């Protein structure tokens, strides 16, 4: 594995967002269609993926939630 270095510029990071909707009773209560929510998937250009799967961003309320 290569050496770990801090990111020096935003261009070094790639982010993809997917719509998130709560299923069943799990997840943030407001992400049931009433709010716009997204899950982010991030990786360093030419490097590793950063595990952000547990986080949901509620764009309507401007909050972040951690999934169980």
pLDDT tens column, 2-47: 567 788 898 999 999 888 877 666 666 677 777 888 988 999 998 8
Q: What pLDDT score does 28 carry? A: 64
Structural domain contains residue 21: yes
Structural domain contains residue 33: yes
Q: What pLDDT score does 32 carry? A: 75
Q: How far apart are CA 27 and CA 9, in angstroms?
A: 32
Range of the domain at 30: 10-66
Say whether pLDDT at 62 is over 90: yes
pTM for this predicted structure: 0.68
Range 38-67 average pLDDT: 89
Q: How far apart are CA 27 and CA 24, in angstroms?
A: 8
Phi, psi values for residue 52, rounded to 5°: -120, 20
How many CB atoms are located within 10 Å of the residue 56 CB?
22
Q: How many domains does the chain have?
A: 1
Structural domain contains residue 4: no
């Amino acid at each position: 594995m290569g050496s770990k270095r801090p990111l020096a510029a935003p261009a070094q990071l790639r982010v993809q967002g997917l719509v998130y909707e709560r299923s069943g009773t799990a997840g943030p209560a407001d992400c049931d269609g009433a709010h716009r929510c997204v899950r982010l998937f991030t990786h360093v250009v030419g490097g590793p993926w950063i595990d952000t799967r547990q986080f949901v961003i509620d764009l309507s309320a401007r909050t972040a939630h951690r999934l169980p």
